[in-house]
Structure 1
């Protein structure tokens, strides 16, 4: 029988990419990780790693082992959930990753609800963009991730991850100055009127940036992106002080009245989907169920 600890190290290598990253994540020496994987190769009787430059990659046989390891770990997580469900008091630590606007608008209220109902549950929250957080969720760094999906940007999820919709968050074109004739201007015309204006957008590689660039290009121009940050509060401040135009969601105001002029976006581009993501084996854990319930209630509370 193969050693589960060594199988987990192989799985970690697949998700984290390097021996050094595995060692850092698990507080091991890199030489120890390498030694354990060498012993696993001896157990299995086939080569599991092959050098690629200064790194290594998994062989076909290693990928087969990782797939089986994922199934074993999922079953163990279900066992952990069953044990937790058999107890009367919810304890332990729940690790959440959330992007900025959801962290500001929803997470504090959800934490209030969790504290009132489950005072012995320790909740750890990290602000992180979904692109990174979902990979970390697969690596078991988090138990639940708050994620977003922009119009026309479906992101297929690995089968071991499970999504649950939370809300549709309206998106707007935020203007650096009030429009001359807000009622006569169509959404596409409003976009084109800002073709020569500086823009604030999220960084390259994010789904928000891809969506925003596509929207501007569909309107017939290449935006002059001078400010790049995942901090949407900075986007808002730049619009308020007339330095940039931006696309802003409702959550950025956390229920307060908008502080800048807004225009409607073209049809089919007016909302982003906000949802929670967990590993399939973790989905029925009482802490995850409690958190998802608290987030749903946070959406509808004033």
Structure 2
């Protein structure tokens, strides 16, 4: 019989690509990961991994077993979810959230859950959507709050299911009002790091207005964006969720077409019937609907 924990290691290796990355993600030593995968090879009776320079790669048999491992892990989650309906709140719900969702949605959702399901344990970590969605597929989280921008849809990962929370307007932010985006062509900009959907979309908005933004500040923390903009050192594009019902300390101007990002939750399909996850999803939807 195959041990599920060893199958998960093979599944993680197929996702992450290196033994070191698997070890870091699961808080094991690389030697432990290697030993467990060697035992899995003996259990399978075929070669699963071969050296590839300083790394390893899956053989054809290894890739086939990794695909079966993904299905076995999904079935395990489905079974656990069905059992949990008999005793809600047994398993904690681990969620990865956007910074703006952590400010505007999570506190209200937790308040609702304290009344609706006081025994449910919710663990929250701030992660960018790109990382959060990957870790959701890798079973590092149970639910992710993510976003996508008009014309910049995110990849639909196999085995994940989305529910839209709603639209979140994104506006031009300056220390003093700006008539339009084109008027900011000669200003310093603050944007999120390269490779994020927010950064790519913001650059495209500037290019559509006829200029390349002078990005002098590249920061993941949106509260730092606000401080730089309010002090007059930069301009940027900021979502409304960031204000969490508070008065913005910057001037906001609508983008053409009243542009808005779509905010959604994502879970694994095998986990969607877990009562704890359903409770958290409903609380987040109610929190989004109730925001000022």
The TM-score, its normalising length taken from structure 1, stands at 0.91
Which whole-Å CA distance do the structure 1 matches of 2:85 and 2:206 have between them?
Answer: 49
* Between 198-207 and 20-29, the greater mean CA deviation after superposition: 20-29
* Between 30-39 and 145-154, the greater mean CA deviation after superposition: 30-39
- Superposition pairs for residues 227-238 of structure 1, below 5 Å? 227-238=217-228
- For residues 176-229 of structure 1, give each alpha carbon's deviation from its aligned partner in whole angstroms, at most 9, with x where no partner exists: 3224xx4xxxxxxx2111111000100001010110111111222111101111
| Deviation for aligned residue 1:32 | 2.5
- The answer to whether the 8 Å contact 1:94/1:124 transfers is yes
Other-structure match for 2:120: 121
Other-structure match for 2:255: 265
1:47 aligns with 2:27: no
* Between 63-72 and 198-207, the greater mean CA deviation after superposition: 63-72
| Deviation for aligned residue 1:17 | 2.7
- For residues 110-150 of structure 1, give each alpha carbon's deviation from its aligned partner in whole angstroms, at most 9, with x where no partner exists: 01111111111111110111111111111211111100101
User: Which secondary structure state, in structure 1, belongs to the residue aligned with residue 283 of structure 2?
Assistant: helix
1:98 aligns with 2:88: no
- Superposition pairs for residues 55-70 of structure 1, below 5 Å? 55-70=55-70
| Deviation for aligned residue 1:24 | 3.3
Q: CA RMSD for the aligned pairs?
A: 1.7
* Structure 2 runs not aligned, ≥5 long: none
- Superposition pairs for residues 242-261 of structure 1, below 5 Å? 242-261=232-251
| Deviation for aligned residue 1:82 | 0.7
User: Which secondary structure state, in structure 1, belongs to the residue aligned with residue 163 of structure 2?
Assistant: strand
Which whole-Å CA distance do the structure 2 matches of 1:66 and 1:217 have between them?
Answer: 43
User: Which secondary structure state, in structure 1, belongs to the residue aligned with residue 61 of structure 2?
Assistant: helix
Query: How many matched pairs?
Result: 291
Which whole-Å CA distance do the structure 2 matches of 1:105 and 1:27 have between them?
Answer: 31
User: Which secondary structure state, in structure 1, belongs to the residue aligned with residue 147 of structure 2?
Assistant: strand
- The answer to whether the 8 Å contact 2:177/2:253 transfers is no
Match for 2:201 among 211, 214, 219? 211
Which whole-Å CA distance do the structure 1 matches of 2:160 and 2:136 have between them?
Answer: 9
Which whole-Å CA distance do the structure 1 matches of 2:218 and 2:271 have between them?
Answer: 35
Other-structure match for 2:278: 289
- For residues 221-268 of structure 1, give each alpha carbon's deviation from its aligned partner in whole angstroms, at most 9, with x where no partner exists: 11110111121111111111111110011111112333322222122x
- For residues 10-49 of structure 1, give each alpha carbon's deviation from its aligned partner in whole angstroms, at most 9, with x where no partner exists: 1121223321232333343322321222232333343322
Other-structure match for 1:23: 23
Change (3 A) 1:36 1:92: closer
Other-structure match for 1:240: 230
The TM-score, its normalising length taken from structure 2, stands at 0.94
